[in-house]
Structure formats: structure tokens, C-alpha cells
Amino acid sequence: MLLLTLAGAVLFPSAALGMPSLCGETGECVCITWITGGGATVEVRCPANGGSPSGWSTSGDPRDADGGDGSFGGSGNPSTLPSTLPGTVLNPTTGQNVNNAKNAAIQKLRGTKIVDEGTPKGTFEPNACTNLFLNSPLGMTGGQILGSYVTFRDGTNVKDSNNVNVCATNVPAWTTCCNHDRIVYICPGSFNSMSANDRMWTLIHEALHVGGQLEDKDTTVGPNDPPNSSQIGADVKKACP
Ligand SMILES: [Zn+2]
């Protein structure tokens, strides 16, 4: 049961997803970041030509800094500001592949569908795939982690804490293990060349790390070592066929 050898039960406060945060001001303009299912979006919104801004309207997303609804009603030109998130936004092809893999993974992680006359339709029973996250320190299911916690970013040329350009090592995806970092980096070259199933398993593997699953990085084998990457990969494949 190496797979469930997890770090201490550190629960992070759950941040509200979907809520934008003001990431700075440029003159009269505001920089807004919000998280969506497919990643994060940053947009600069400015009042029209220095005139009086028409302000925030009362409908639409993203919500304003007070937590109420509000989208900027001015006619200024939105312009793209480099995101404050590490990495870069996924290109459309990669984004589509990630979304497909994510949706397939969430389906798998729901468990086994119960089909019998006495059970309401749409009932799922946890199975080995669901249970990969049973004792996850983050306290979230795999579906919750992939569906609403993680932000996927293009990890091309992103260096980890050891100054390693991880995507250059031919991995399909990686995350900063294991403090529940929300960012999962996708390495488009490797990720896109994999089969649909391998992409799905890869995302479940990374979701385990986001949840707190440790991974052995050295070649020594010890009784207290966590599983290495290929062991985790094999376990995911077996649990979520
Ligand atoms: Zn791993």
C-alpha cells in the first residue's frame, strides 16, 4: 500500500475558486485574474480614453473585489497582461487534450456505476480508482482536485526548485510536490504525443501529487521510501483501467 503512504494530514484552507483577485493596478486600469475549468485568465480593463468610467455593472463574471457580481462596463480596450501565474497559458490543441483527459479522469474517479432496479440512476459506488484518494491529505476526492482545484499551465521552460527545466526531461506533466500546489504543468510535446488513456492516467497521477502523494526521487530503495514515478503510474493504471 505504498500508494497511500502519505505525508502528514496538512489541510490547506480551501480558497474560493471562480473568485477573481485584483493583481495590481496600472494607472486607472485594473488587472483581473480569474480561474476557470481550463486554466486562468488575466485581463486588463481600463476606463474609456481617460473619461469617466461607467464602472462595474451588476451582472456577469468575474465578480468584483467586494465579492459581488460585476463586469466592467467601460469601453476601454482590454489588453493582455502577462499572467501572474507561473508557466504560460495552454495553446488550444493542448488545452483541448487536457480538457478531454480531465473529463475522462473525472468519469473514472466517480467509481463504478450501479445498474439495478432498486438503485436510483446515476448512482456510483467507489472503486479502486476512487479510493486512490481515500486518505489523501488534502481531503478532496480526485474528481474535486481535477475538476475545481487544479490549474493547468504550459510548463515549457519552467524550472523547478532545483533549477531543472522539467519539461526538457520528457515528462508529460509535473507539479511541485507535495504541498498542494494548484498548478499542474503540462509539457505539450510529450503530453500531446501520448494516447488518450495515457493522458488521463497522467492527470490522475499528478492529481495524487497535488493531494499530497510523495514520490521517490532517488534510486535508493528503503523501507520508508515512497513509491517512485513508475510505481505510481502502474498503480493508477491498475486502479483506473
Ligand atoms: Zn509523479
- Residue 209 CA to ligand 1 center (angstroms) comes to 7
Under the banding of pLDDT at 50, 70 and 90, the label for residue 45 is low
- Residue 174 CA to ligand 1 center (angstroms) comes to 7
- In the predicted model, is pLDDT for residue 210 greater than 80? yes
Instruction: Respond yes or no on whether the N-terminal peptide bond of residue 178 is cis (omega within 30° of 0).
Output: yes
> pLDDT digits over 154-196, tens only?
999 999 999 999 999 999 999 998 789 999 999 999 999 999 9
Question: What pTM was estimated for this model as a whole?
Answer: 0.67
Q: Say if strands 39-45 and 29-36 run parallel, antiparallel, or are unpaired.
A: antiparallel
> pLDDT digits over 138-160, tens only?
999 999 999 999 999 999 999 99
How many other C-beta atoms are found inside a 10 Å radius of the C-beta of residue 92?
8
- Comparing C-alpha atoms, which of 154, 177, 167, 166 is closest to residue 6? 177
Task: Quickly list H helices, 86-223.
Answer: 92-109, 142-144, 188-192, 196-211
88-91 contacts, C-beta under 8 A, 24 or more apart: 88/153, 88/154, 88/156, 89/39, 89/40, 89/153, 89/154, 90/38, 90/39, 90/152, 90/153, 90/154, 90/186, 90/188, 91/154, 91/188
Amino acid identity of 203? Answer: L
Average pLDDT of the chain to the nearest whole number: 76
- Residue 232 CA to ligand 1 center (angstroms) comes to 7
- Residue 205 CA to ligand 1 center (angstroms) comes to 6
- Residue 229 CA to ligand 1 center (angstroms) comes to 5
- Which whole-number Å values give the CA distances from 230 to 19, 21, 208, 235, in the listed order? 36, 38, 13, 9
Q: Cell match 480561474: residue?
A: 35
Residues near ligand 1 ion, CB 5 Å cutoff: 215, 229
pLDDT value of residue 2: 36
